[in-house]
Structure 1
């Protein structure tokens, strides 16, 4: 690579300065300089999600005794099943006990040594674990799918959150139908990422989940206005939607030492696509269903800003459809999660933000999320 010219160096420095000014203004100069930016620069911390489809062991057999001793289980909050009479639960073949017993088994470690890479279990040949940020597992947990639910992972690649969702859908009784009679549809429009998603899910999930169609990998442009009509179940049919939207991902920018190429308008441009994706997620939901909107961005434009614009879009759509008898609205349910998130996140106007300088010391994130519910009006 040719060295930068003097003009290029000046332009890169100006972009880096703009990056720091932008986020210092949002989070406060002192916090940005003293805790948040240093936490972003630090290596990403990973959790290890055990693949319960691969093994019945709590810790993969290939781990050494020293590696196993350094693992600490992560306790995720357990949202209660809603008692909202406007949100009836879908028919399911599982018992109430089965419906709430599925949970994620994940570990953290304070060791600087990375977790060993996943490996095939000797009997199932499925990969034993997935290493990812625990904030992603928190998002899947808070969406709270249960066996029998119809679930859509709208931007699913590379597949870690889909694996987590599938385990939350998994009935505890072997005789129950796959996913308790529900389904998981994982979508990724980009060809190479779609191929990776398909390959990953096939490496982690048993073939028996694919043959009856309980698990499907989709390749739809979810930002298109008609995307919901192309979903296997069509509009208004899904109980839960996870929308982990493509975003500016500032931590990756920092790690790549690419702040010199950052542009202040990138978040506003990303927000346009994120709003279109949120519209598709809401169209896909049944009345009473929930979408968890998430990004790994620090930008308010891409986080609360998208939710606020989404609420405005819903209000406009409601006025358009009222005469057709199809009106529905959206309620923000993020505040309902407050008792569960003290050790994980800080509240925002419409959601929550997991940041790696959180006082609890988890060092997870960044991850923003907001829980929205489609309601009758």
Structure 2
């Protein structure tokens, strides 16, 4: 790789300075420099989500020594005494092994399905808060690579899976990705984790629609207002990815493209895409249903700002075309009382999981806001 010119180095340094300045303003210079940036630069911590369609728990997959170091993850609202009835079976390493890597997923010897999925536990927290039930019609709008869809499927089929049983009360999971390459990966992943019968029955479908198009909701299998729950894990600036690329490049005496090309105004551009996706999610869900909006961004513009812009657009559509619905933000106050504060910090409209949280969980970043569609 050719050495950077003096001018290129100057531009790269300016981008890095702007990046740090932007988030030092948002989170406070002391926190950004002393705890949050170092936590973002550290390796991502993963949890292991058990695929109950393949195995009952990871004790059948890991060694006895590994199992001894596993701790079940308890999400807000899930009491310890009720763990047997909780759809998501997920584990973290104990404190001494917190930075360890989970063994990669492997095909189960009997079902052939993959045993588990390694992902940030904050993603599982978001799915838990959406709280899909058996029989719910669920739409995962930006689903690739598929980890959250796999988690959603565990809620829709919480009991022992019988390959011959029909869909529970008409429930379904529709997972969407517009990018061709990512769509293929999504389909491949879901087929590797979910029983083939769920695809044959139509209970699980992989879709390919552009959620930023205003009328894309019309092409959904269930149409506008046809879904009980919608998960929107929106594409975002993903600052932790930028930080990781930057740290790795610096160790090799290089400058990461991700940092060199970073600009403070890109969140505003990204937010336009996110708002368009949010409007599609709101149109797709029924009145009384819920949308869980999430990003892995640190930016207020991409988080609370998108919720506020969505409020403005819904009001405009009500005046312009007479739509008879609105949405309200659920504060998750009851969840806070049951432990959400052990995972995240409140924002104006939602919650933000950050890896420097006092709990020491080291999860995130993940912003989420739970929205309910209501009669206007």
- Displacement of 1:319: 1.6
Can you list the C-alpha shifts for 1:302-349, whole angstroms capped at 9, x where unaligned?
000000000111111112233xxx411111113434224111000000
- Displacement of 1:248: 0.1
Q: Who is 2:337 aligned against?
A: 339
Tell me the secondary structure at the aligned position of residue 178 of structure 2: coil
- Displacement of 1:181: 2.3
Q: Who is 2:109 aligned against?
A: 122
TM-score by length of 2: 0.91
* C-alpha RMSD over aligned residues: 1.6
Change (3 A) 1:101 1:65: closer
| Number of equivalences | 354
Which segment is superposed worse, 58-67 or 16-25? 58-67
Q: Distance in 2 between matches of 1:62 and 1:101?
A: 21
Q: Who is 1:221 aligned against?
A: 210
Can you list the C-alpha shifts for 1:1-35, whole angstroms capped at 9, x where unaligned?
21110000000000000000000000000000010
1:103 aligns with 2:87: yes
- Displacement of 1:265: 1.2
Q: Distance in 2 between matches of 1:29 and 1:173?
A: 50
Q: Distance in 2 between matches of 1:316 and 1:198?
A: 37
1:70 aligns with 2:54: no
Q: Distance in 2 between matches of 1:101 and 1:133?
A: 22
Q: Distance in 2 between matches of 1:276 and 1:101?
A: 37
Would you say the 8 A contact 2:231–2:293 is kept in 1? Answer: yes
Q: Who is 1:89 aligned against?
A: none
Matches within 5 A, 1:178-193: 178-193=167-182
Q: Who is 2:306 aligned against?
A: 306
- Displacement of 1:171: 4.4
TM-score by length of 1: 0.91
- Displacement of 1:376: 0.5
Would you say the 8 A contact 1:151–1:239 is kept in 2? Answer: yes
Would you say the 8 A contact 1:118–1:127 is kept in 2? Answer: yes
Q: Distance in 2 between matches of 1:61 and 1:375?
A: 45
Would you say the 8 A contact 1:328–1:376 is kept in 2? Answer: yes
Tell me the secondary structure at the aligned position of residue 200 of structure 2: coil
Would you say the 8 A contact 1:170–1:180 is kept in 2? Answer: no
Q: Who is 2:349 aligned against?
A: 350
- Displacement of 1:60: 4.7
